[in-house]
Every structure is written in C-alpha cells, then in structure tokens.
Amino acid sequence: MSSPATPATPDSTQQTLHDVTISQRLRSFPSRIILRYEPTEIFEEFLVGNFHIKYVVFNATDAAKLVRDHGSVHAVLEDWQIPIVTATDPDADIYNRQRDDIRELLANIQPAIYIPDAGTVYWDEPDSQEGGLRFFIRRLDWVIDEVEKNNWNIAVLPLAKGMEKWHYEILRDCYERHDFSNYAFYCKQYFGEDRGNRISQLESHIQNLIDVMNAKKILVIALLSENYLRRLQPQVQAACGIYQFAANCKEDGQFIEVDFVDWRDNLENTLSDKPTVIQQ
C-alpha cells in the first residue's frame, strides 16, 4: 500500500478531488464502528483493498513503531483509509512520551485524526486528579499549537479526560476556547479482571460530560460490546475496538469480510436506533 504522499494516479484532477474528500472526512466526526489496528499479518491483509473500512484507530505506540519501521503509518493503509491515532496508552508510556516524540509522530501520521492524552486522573486522589487535568490541558493546548504552526494535515479530536462534573468544569475553558463539541471517551479502565464491570459508572461519567460540555457526538474507545453500546447515551455515535471483531469475524485464522460487514451493520444499527440520535 502507498502513502497518501505518493500520488495514487497521474491525473492531478483526481488527486485533488481525493485530497478534498480526505480533508472533508478529517474535519467530520468519524461516526459508526471503527476497528483498532492489530499488528498482525492477517489484520493488515484484511485492510488491503477493503472499501468497507474508512478509518482505523491506532494506539500511539503502534503508530510510532510503524513510523520507525516504514516511515509512515500509512504504509499499512489504503489511500482512502484515515488513521485515528490515540495517545491513550498505559500511564508509563504517556509519561515517558516527550514532545519531540509527539512532533515526530504527528509529522508522519498525516493526514490523520489525533486524540491527545496526558496526565493521570482515573481513580486517583482528588488533588492528583486536578494535577492530571492541568497537565492534560497543557498538552492539548500544545498539540493544537504545534499542528497549526507546522500546518500539519491533522484534525484534533479531544479526549474527554474526566469522570466527575468538577473534572469537566476544570476542562471547560480549554474545550470552549478551541470550540470543541465532539469528544473521544476512553473506556478500557472501566472493564477488566482487576476492575470488574463498571458500565453504570461509565454511563454516569459520560452523562457528566454531556451535562457540563453539552457534548454533541462521542467516540468510545475500546468498547464494542453490543450490550454496552445499547445502554450508552444517544450522543455515543461511534465506537472502536478489536476483541469483539476477532471473536465475531475470524474463521480458520483469517478475518472474513462478509462476517465483518454483517457484524458491523448490526452494531451500527444499535447506535443509530437510539432515540434522539443526531443525524449526520
């Protein structure tokens, strides 16, 4: 697969139309069901020529490895597939990530959507939570400044870095200064053997975001369970993950496209059938 920096066709008019289409999609909310990149041969083969896939979510660590190995995250994507790179990695990775690392990453993922992250908030003491929120605000402001200064073809989708209403009240000035109305919400910390099932807490924390920030559209990261998606607010109009995809669409060691389409359509119906969903 070629990077978008390499013309897909000698026809410059078609290339211009392609660029315009990509630009429009970058500035649009990535609704519906999105797969998270898995660094395996069978997943990369599944992406080849797959017109059903318009966006692919990458953890920043996976994206950085692709940049080191291939020069660009687009090496594993088709021209029409847009990367959504999320910095929601383990805390140790986030704290060790330097600004130079982020600059290099942003320069080599474009065109892309980027979800910044920084600071520890979840389950800490209130004083530590506030410190984590302040750190996140500085990082978010810096990323937006860098994107604008370097004229990178990057759209920033802000992370809803919080749980309680007072968290979002601290964040409100930053979000409003940048005129944000759509958000990504990280869900992995609500589920797992060491955390149990905290779906009720997740519902409550998403509602706090909606109440304080009047969030219009929300992408939930690391959540593709139909039962959970059905319970979440109508503002949740996109979801990404990998485990349920593998469980439902893998057969004899390969991902099956027809199974993927049926499974994805079912989940998208779950999202769109909620009352008062805002139409695109």
Mind listing the pLDDT tens digit for each residue in 40-78? 999 999 999 999 999 999 999 999 999 999 999 999 999
> Left, alpha or beta for 214 (phi > 0: left; psi -120 to 50: alpha)?
left
Rounded Cα distance between 55 and 35, Å, is 8
192-203: average pLDDT: 78
Q: What is the pLDDT of residue 183?
A: 98
Q: Is residue 216 part of a domain?
A: yes
How many structural domains are present in the chain?
A: 1
User: What's the domain range around 186?
Assistant: 31-271
The rounded distance, in Å, linking the Cα atoms of 30 and 53 is 11
Q: Is residue 115 part of a domain?
A: yes
pLDDT for 274:
77
CA atoms within 13 A on the CB side of 122: 19
The answer to whether 117 touches 97, Cβ cutoff 8 Å, is no
Whether residue 16 is contained in a domain is answered as: no
Domain membership of residue 78 (yes or no) is yes
pTM comes to 0.89
Burial of 123 (0-12, 13-18, 19+ CB in 10 A): exposed
CATH assignment of the domain containing 182 = 3.20.20.105
Cα-Cα-Cα-Cα dihedral sign, residues 251, 255, 260, 261: negative
Predicted confidence (pLDDT) per residue in 128-142, tens digit: 889 989 999 999 999
> Is 101 within the bounds of a domain?
yes
Q: For residue 236, what is the DSSP state?
A: E
97-106 pLDDT, tens digit each: 889 999 999 9
